[in-house]
Chains A and B, each alone.
Chain A
């Protein structure tokens, strides 16, 4: 099949049948109604939009704080043994009361 000729034929058909200029009844009124309608604000939609926008900055701040805490954290010196650590913890109340 001659594709070049087929293309020409189809384009000729498309040229010969331009689309209709028909307009639905009172379409201009519909557009004017849209243009002149008072702007109604959906508060919840606005709130939702702002929440979504806040997600990225909040995550960034959280990540930055996490990195900062990890970088500046000084590890506690390890206790001599677990038994001593428990005893210190349990008796710390008595020490305070004794003072």
Chain B
């Protein structure tokens, strides 16, 4: 039988560093998935994941076991991703003006028939990524957690460390920002 998180954490705290490895192996898929929501390049994703686990190791003494280890780790992961977004907001690679042909096709099909646009989801995904990349770090984090991951305001508050009213304010601003980006996108291409 595999040791539980609590047993592994206790062993690491006692000085058996090697017991941290099973914890990494257990949770790295989830941390990778989280990092992939905010970074595109594989080297950036790996840097984020590595940072998350190094922080987790260094802060393990502050883990109080009041909530599952996974929740504590995911909080660290989300905050590390937010730090990454803030650090990289100046060098965004994508713009709204250089849409690829499949993205333009997808938008044209949507404009022609909004109800039927099931084809080429790759283009739609690229479009989502492009729009998210234009958002501010706060807005991107809130939109991802609220709209894409379907998390509640309270959950976002716990994950980010922001107060509930602050999450609501940031969600409102994020939606407005997104609407503005969509307006710019469609105005430039279709009006």
Contacts and interface: CB of A to CB of B under 8 A. Distances in A.
Contacts of B190: 1
A17 B54 contact: no
B150 A15 contact: yes
Contacts of B150: 15
Interface residues of A, number: 30
Nearest to A32: B21
Interface in A8-32: 9-11, 13-24, 27-32
B182 A6 contact: yes
A34 B127 CA distance: 37
Contact of B36 (A3, A20, A31): A20
A22 B32 contact: yes
The interface residues of chain B, by DSSP majority, are classed as helix
B172 to A, nearest CB: 14
Contact of B128 (A2, A10, A22, A30): A10
B183 interface: yes
A7 interface: yes
Contact of A3 (B25, B37, B50, B183): B183
Contacts of B124: 9-10, 13
A21 B20 contact: no
A30 B2 CA distance: 22
Max chain A CB contacts within 10 Å: which of B32, B114, B124, B148?
B148
Interface of B: 17-18, 20-21, 24-25, 28-30, 32-34, 36-37, 46, 49-50, 53-54, 57, 110-111, 114, 117, 121, 124-125, 127-128, 131, 147-148, 150, 178-179, 182-183, 186, 190
- Closest 7 pairs (CB-CB, A-B): A19-B36, A21-B29, A28-B24, A13-B124, A21-B33, A14-B128, A14-B148
29 contacts: A1-B110, A1-B114, A1-B186, A1-B190, A3-B182, A3-B183, A7-B179, A10-B127, A11-B128, A11-B147, A11-B148, A15-B148, A15-B150, A16-B121, A17-B121, A18-B33, A19-B32, A19-B34, A22-B29, A27-B28, A28-B21, A28-B25, A31-B54, A32-B17, A32-B21, A34-B54, A35-B20, A35-B54, A36-B17
Interface of A: 1-3, 5-7, 9-11, 13-24, 27-32, 34-36
